[in-house]
Each structure stands twice: as structure tokens, then as C-alpha cells.
A and B are shown apart, each in its own frame.
Chain A
Amino acid sequence: MSASSPNQNPNQLEQIVARQRQQQQRFKTGVNISYGVLLLALAFLFSGLEFNIGPIAITTISLDFVFIRERIGFIFGGVGLTIMLAILSISLACVLALLGALGRLSKFPPAYALSTFYISLIRGTPLLLQIIFFFLALPQLGIRLSGLTAGVLALGLNYGAYMTEIMRAGIQSVGIGQREAALAIGMTQSQIMRRIILPQAFRLVVPPIGNEFIAMLKDTSLISVTGFVWEILWRSQRVGRQSFRNLEALLMAALFYWIITIIFSAVQNRIEAYLGKGERNSGGMIH
């Protein structure tokens, strides 16, 4: 290294950073313009316009806006229930996933067996079948569940099995030294799990559980097969069939799911940023 390099390097570095930033800015602008074009194209596609370009007749999709205006409120009325179903199901799933993970990590054979059996059974069968099973098959055994209960139980059980892996990874991410220090100071296994391991695993499992919740928001639509659970899809199918306006009805439902997903994804990003920030703030080792 020459003696002058300490003076030159920062300048060069600044130039490189500035160029990178410029490139990023140009890319962003390009993406935004493309979004605009895409939206215009969609608007045109659904504009209902008909015209000819020379010999070719062009017809765009025409929607029944009177129907949409009349029914959008009814379909929107399902948003609350959809979110509530997702919250109930994910809560059940979290509890089951935690139990499943503890079972998977247990040295007690029956607990391990029960947990792996549960995971295998649920992962080996379709979610839709599970929902229908709870609703249609259990009554034959004298267990009559409402569509809502059957749906939440099935979704919770299903997601719980898949989320076991998330919980297990979270628990195992906590170093063995934490457990040994707690043991060495006289804490019991359950105290260690509740006070030392799980609080530290929490940070790691929140982001993936957020992903599961967002997927769950859409999978609640499967409950519509049981009928009479007034969530978004069920409502849209109902009005769509009544008026033979399935296209409009399903488009509205799709739009609501999409908007909900975008909102909750933004919330999730905020939460992740918050958790990440905590990590950084306290992460600096001052040696």
C-alpha cells in the first residue's frame, strides 16, 4: 500500500457507492414504470371496450359494475371472519407445534412417537380432506362440529404439524451452554424451558410463523367447503351463484385476499425489522 492510499481510498469508495446507488435508483424507477404499464393494461383488459384494428375485432372483458357495487359490501363483510379464523387457527397451530417440537426433542419414547406419528399423518394427507373429515366424518362417530369449529381444528392441526419444524429449529438454536448454566444453578427442566430456552427461541420463530399466518389467511378459504362459515370465499360464491356473476364475485374475493396479504406482509416486515433492530442494538461486542 502506498502512503497516499489512505487519502485516495475513501474517495474511490464514495464513487463506487454513489454509482451503486444510482443504479439502484434507476432500477426502482424502471420497476415503478412497469407497474404503471401493467395496471393500465389490466384496466384496459377489464374496460369492456370493443373496437376494431383493421380486420381484427378486439373485445375486452366487461364487468357488471352494478353487481359489484351492490355486492362488494357483502363480500367485504367476510374479511373480519377470515382474519379471525386465521388468528384462531394459527394460535392452535402454535400450541400444537410447540408440543410437537417438545415431543420430537424428548427422550421419552412415547412423547417422541406421538409427535412423529402426528407429523407424519398430517403431512401425509391433504388439508382439504382433513377439513372435510372433521366436518363430515366425525358426526358418524357422534361428534358434531360446526363448520367453523371443524375448520379451525383442521387448519390448526395441519399447520401445527408443519410448524413443528420451525419450533424445533428455534429451540435447538439456543446454545447448549444456556441450558447447562441453568442446570448448574439448580433450575428444573421446565423452568429452563419456560424461562431460558423459549424466550430466546421466540425471536427466531416469529418471522417464519408470520409467513405461516399469511399463508393461513388464504387457506381459511378452504373452510368454505363446509358451508355457512361466512368468510370471504363463501360469501363471494354465494352471491356469484345467485346472480350468475361468478367472475365479478370471485375477482372481488381475490382482491380482498390480496389486499389483506399485502397489509399483513407489511406488518410482518415491521415486526421483523423491529426484532432485527433489537438484535443489532445489543449485538455489538465491546471488547
Chain B
Amino acid sequence: MTQSLIEIKNLHKHFGAIQAVNGVDLNIAQGEVVVIVGPSGSGKSTVLRCINHLEIPSAGAVYIDGVHLEDRRTDINKVRAEVGMVFQQFNLFAHLTVLDNITIAQRLVRKRSRGEAEEIAMRQLERVGIPEKATMYPRQLSGGQQQRVAIARSLAMNPKIMLFDEPTSALDPEMIKEVLDVMLDLARDGMTMVVVTHEMGFARAAAQRVVFMDNGQIIEVGPPDQIFINPTHERTQLFLSKIIKH
């Protein structure tokens, strides 16, 4: 039996009385791209945030490359260095230049020298197409450029997994493509990716599987075409009819 890179077992998470995630099981293989869709509040972000332990599950377990995240002996910072995350609001470090945003964790966490970190940072900036912005501050960049820097910042750590939480939801329409292109590129290079997004074009081009969530549970899993064109569950159909109308 080949081990999955990400194993989520019977995951539960509640915030007070709110049951955000209610028994999710999901295994994701090395190199796989999984897209999670579902209505707002269905628990997509919470599942994603349990994968790098930003949220601590109320019950259940998450394994990354066989390492049990909830085990007290696990060095969580070490795991997080292997799991990149891209947020809806970019979350670039506001007081640092683009270059410093990409080098700071390389130096503090990966213990790379300044020269090495900067070289890697420039390579990643070239990969996302904005090497000329290296000396600028985040607020001098457009949303699309900031998001690409955020992706470069994660990639510079050489992660095994990349998590994306609605990476294009905060972007003006004309900038969505530049970010999705970078993500598509990454998927083609074999990165293991878990992406919360309603961009069906991206899902169909990049994802092996689409997961539909509702009310903290996985309702349906399948290849993009099956989920988007022939969903078996009523709730999936209802949800899709809503997002397609928009």
C-alpha cells in the first residue's frame, strides 16, 4: 500500500457551539491536485488550516508524510516549513520588501545564507513573473502581484505541499488569470496542491479530484468533469447552479 502524502482521518473541529468540520476523511497522494468547493461556511478553510495545524482539530487526525500533526512530540514548525500556504488576503509582511518577504523564512527557518536565500528568492520571483518588483513594498503592488509574491514566498521554502485558500477571491477580475497561470504551472510541475477555489476552469485544467463540502462534511468526491457536469448529489447540483448563475 502506498502511503498518501496527506491523510485526514475523521476530522472534527468545532468553535464553541459551531461545528465547522464534522467528520472529514481525505487522502491526497504525492503530486495530486485536489480542489475543494462548497458554500461559504461549509468548513473548507478549516479543513485546509488543519492541514498545517493553524487550527487544532477537536477530534481526528492529520498526517503529513506519515507525521502525526496532533502528536505533542511533533515539531510543528518543521512540518509547516514543508507545507506552503497562500491566503485570500495575501498576508505579505507589510514592513518588508518583496525580496525580504521571500528570504526571511528561508534564513530563519531553513538557515540559508543571505546570498543563497536571495538567489532562490529571485529565481522564484522570475518563476511568478515579477523579478523587477524585488525592492518594492507589498502595498506598492497590485493584488495580483502581491498574491504572486505570496506564492513565491512559499515556494522558496521548497515545500512538498501547497495549500491555497481562495487565492483569487480578493482579486479584481483582470488579475485572476495571472495568479491562476502561476498555479497551473505549479500543478504541471507536479506539486501536491490542495486548493479551495470556485474557479472551475482551474479545477478542470489542473485537478485530479474535486471535493464538494457542505455543512462540515464531504458530500461528494470525483474528477472535475463528473462533479461539475454530472453531480450525483442534490446539494452539489444546487450549489453548482448557484455559482454558475453568478
10 contacts between A and B (CB under 8 A): A180-B91, A181-B91, A183-B80, A184-B85, A185-B157, A186-B81, A187-B105, A187-B109, A191-B108, A195-B108
Q: Which 5 A-B pairs have the closest CB atoms?
A: A186-B81, A181-B91, A177-B91, A184-B85, A185-B105
Note all chain B residues with C-beta closer than 8 A to A180.
54, 87, 91
Decide: A287 near B143, CB < 8 A? Known: A180-B87, A185-B84, A186-B77. yes
Counted as pairs of residues, one from A and one from B, with CB atoms less than 8 Å apart, the total is: 70
> Contact: B104 with A284, CB < 8 Å?
no
> Contact: B54 with A183, CB < 8 Å?
yes
In this complex, how many residues of chain A approach chain B with their Cβ under 8 Å: the count is 23
> Contact: A178 with B105, CB < 8 Å?
no
Decide: A177 near B89, CB < 8 A? Known: A185-B153, A195-B108. yes
> Contact: A199 with B81, CB < 8 Å?
no
Note all chain B residues with C-beta closer than 8 A to A191.
108
Note all chain A residues with C-beta closer than 8 A to B108.
187, 191, 195
> Contact: B154 with A282, CB < 8 Å?
no
> Contact: A177 with B109, CB < 8 Å?
no
Note all chain A residues with C-beta closer than 8 A to B77.
186-188
User: Bound complex: CA of A186 vs CA of B109, how far in Å?
Assistant: 6
User: Bound complex: CA of A286 vs CA of B146, how far in Å?
Assistant: 11
In the complex formed, the residue of B with least CB distance to A176 is B91
> Contact: A184 with B95, CB < 8 Å?
no
B205 part of interface (Cβ distance < 8 Å): no
In this complex, how many residues of chain B approach chain A with their Cβ under 8 Å: the count is 31
Decide: A284 near B140, CB < 8 A? Known: A184-B52, A184-B54, A186-B78. yes
Q: Tell which of A185, A200, A283, A284 has the most Cβ of chain B within 10 Å.
A: A185
Note all chain B residues with C-beta closer than 8 A to A188.
77
> Contact: A177 with B87, CB < 8 Å?
yes
User: Bound complex: CA of A200 vs CA of B104, how far in Å?
Assistant: 15
Q: Shortest CB–CB separation between residue A285 and chain B, in angstroms?
A: 6
| Residue of A182, A187, A200, A284 touching B139 (CB-CB under 8 A) | A284
| Residue of B84, B95, B172 touching A200 (CB-CB under 8 A) | B95
A196 part of interface (Cβ distance < 8 Å): yes
Note all chain A residues with C-beta closer than 8 A to B81.
185-186
> Contact: B172 with A178, CB < 8 Å?
no
> Contact: B93 with A286, CB < 8 Å?
no
